[in-house]
Structure 1
């Protein structure tokens, strides 16, 4: 593309350098470039390439005072047109739809991003130069229009994604660093929520730019949008996030409600961040906490261990918020809680589960549920007993994560519900002794430190079981010492007897 059409409007006869153009001529030049960047016709492909080259020349050759001066431009100021050009550049470098995400398409996106990033660096360099020039106060207006699109571009291409390359990520990170420098922000968080209480920040503006691409019909048109939204959201924490709740909650719910596991996980991460950084009073208002709970709870029916992991972490942090709305007045039984409901479903899924990764994920979070419910865990004793015994019987691989977590759960269960433990003495004692014998004779690749940890945890459980049963365990184990020839098993039994005979034990 040639800039001759714009040069026809230059004010002085014979002037040919962009630095000598009037704001009107600059406005027309940028408008022509904008038209080439936003045109949909296939024939504009070469014109776009020429427009990018002309834009680079225009930025380089135009003096700062001319580049950001907008008082004489027709229809709208040059700063606003520059903002529109920045938006067009960001869209130009955006990755294609997911179904179009072929390897060659991704390499083209990375090339475009590198080219656009270098243009943004030139533009930000001009803004920085204008800051240091007393004769160009208009740079602030231009920066207001430029900051949002440049930020979205930088985040889109600085994260490691299929559409990025090492070079495009390097350029995008340079753009983000330059943007923070120009805006005088020490961090991305400061850029978004303001460096101090008096500064407004740019989070609202960024969310406004993302909003058209974050509705039900359009959010999959650009696969980068969900990552830009999620990453940006997680930069803003207390006490700034609650004022943006109406902007951030709907997109987070939308992403988490997708059929793809990857999107569900990303959406739950967003919802978890909201739960952690928005006051409970705001979440309880308008029944938002219940909406969050039901949206997250439904994911428990999906047998994907990565998803279950993030869902359970989120629910454990949501329970205190939900329980603030429940008031127990002390007259009658305590009402069942959301934690009860989730634990009941987890135990239902755990009993028949045979996939090791899911078993580990469930077992990993079981102690937290027992801690949360405390004495109220007695409501789930029968099912917990079946799960504990069933999981202690199954070898879980070299790290034995599931069995270690189940032993931790059993310890907590006995500590919180000890009056109900003595009637289960025989069943629990058999399960623990079987585990100790299995571990002691284990010829698998289980490392010795893991075996030692299992034996120690099982021994601690036996000691607790003895306390809960008023010393019955010690009596039942007495005869085993005379008939057992395994030193590891004997050592565990002696520890139980020694502690039961008067030595202190930290677990009680």
Structure 2
């Protein structure tokens, strides 16, 4: 066992001069075990188990001052290599390789590696108040990144995790925060205050080689670690890392798989919410964001459309900062106009209920945003509103309720143009009231009441807009 070899040479090391840069016997012992774990000898399960057992014994029986000895001996770099190798060893396989048996093996590996990380972090924790181990902080600085990536990879519920591996990974994350004296993951990443340097830059540096176009799918956990980590960092810290986080977010959102598109749009939305408008307007970044997100509107996936519309609604105020209306002539067409026009084009012939509900859910927000400028889309809005009011939308009637809300807002914002549409809108509302009243049992009573109330409110607004002609 390498542990015995390391002990035998400890006396010889004591006579060597401190300035010698030759690798220590302890470092060599770690290197040999890592070679056994990752080299050709690692193919057998017994060989890997023996290597992990030896590594655990070596960590457990090595004194703190030797484990974290200074830079001259290179032990911090050796420990960093140990942590990186263990994190890679427990990483899930490529998506196309990841099938049932592989996932079980990954979960078992993760549980074993997690126990080793707990031993290593436990060593640091017990030496926290010790004066004989001053290099502890140096060692921790090298270990924190790989251990964090391991903990996040295996603490989230994914196909390659099990209940046991998730429990161990969460214990590792908890102990990591404890030894780094951080109250939360966010504090671990960005520091306790704006002046303090956190570990977010280091984590992004470790993830960067795996977040390029050629390699980001080699490890299916990388995108999840990146996304989860990104969303822990908010204002005012996130703006300092914009150049690091924007390209990977755009890369993930541009994938052909819907789940990756959704994940990428979530990342972009977080950036929109937490980076100042001035930084997004610089170098035309906001236009890049807009076009990347806008293109997803052509995909008929209701889950994707949901996150895209939410992101666009928060992006419009930033886009409009660059378009200042000076009061002379007609107001320029905005990006909100462009998106609403496309939405209405898709809504009119749409027959899939989930997509109809998703579009209808966000229509009121677009009308509120445009205000009086909704008149530009009035003709198409009228057709969509009447068409959607005619179709039963299931027990919850979400689409029809949102369309009624949209109709009320449209009439309030564009009331001078409503009187000429009185007959068409009145017929549609009265037909809806009759359909709801005649519905024997399909719609629950609370939903019926809500529909009748919304339709009545629309009739009242319509009456005001037409100077009492409804009565």
Contact 1:299 1:308 in 2 (8 A): yes
User: Does structure 1 residue 425 correspond to structure 2 residue 422?
Assistant: yes
- Which of 141, 159, 162 is equivalent to 1:162? 159
The 5-angstrom pairing of residues 20-419 of structure 1 reads 24-39=24-39, 43=43, 46-71=46-71, 73=73, 77-419=74-416
Write the distance in 2 (CA, Å) between the matches of 1:71 and 1:456: 74
Write the distance in 2 (CA, Å) between the matches of 1:225 and 1:278: 23
Alignment coverage as a number of residue pairs: 463
1:460-487: CA deviations, max 9, x gaps?
Answer: 000000000000001xxxxxxxxxxxxx
Give 5+ residue unaligned stretches, structure 1.
14-21, 475-508
Q: TM-score, normalised by structure 2?
A: 0.96
**437-446 vs 426-435, which deviates more?**
437-446
Write the distance in 2 (CA, Å) between the matches of 1:308 and 1:471: 40
Write the distance in 2 (CA, Å) between the matches of 1:333 and 1:36: 73
Give 1 or 2 for the bigger CA radius of gyration: 1
1:258-287: CA deviations, max 9, x gaps?
Answer: 000000000000000000000000001111
Contact 2:325 2:332 in 1 (8 A): yes
Contact 1:33 1:85 in 2 (8 A): no
RMSD of aligned C-alpha atoms?
A: 1.5
User: Does structure 1 residue 439 correspond to structure 2 residue 436?
Assistant: yes
Q: TM-score, normalised by structure 1?
A: 0.89
Q: Structure 1 residues 41, 333: closer, same or farther in 2, change over 3 A?
A: farther
- Helix, strand or coil at the partner of 2:127: helix
1:367-393: CA deviations, max 9, x gaps?
Answer: 000000000000000000000000000
Contact 2:191 2:197 in 1 (8 A): yes
Q: Structure 1 residues 280, 41: closer, same or farther in 2, change over 3 A?
A: farther
1:217-243: CA deviations, max 9, x gaps?
Answer: 000000000000000000000000011
Q: Structure 1 residues 40, 278: closer, same or farther in 2, change over 3 A?
A: farther
Q: Structure 1 residues 63, 41: closer, same or farther in 2, change over 3 A?
A: closer
Match of 2:9 in 1: 9
Contact 1:70 1:79 in 2 (8 A): yes
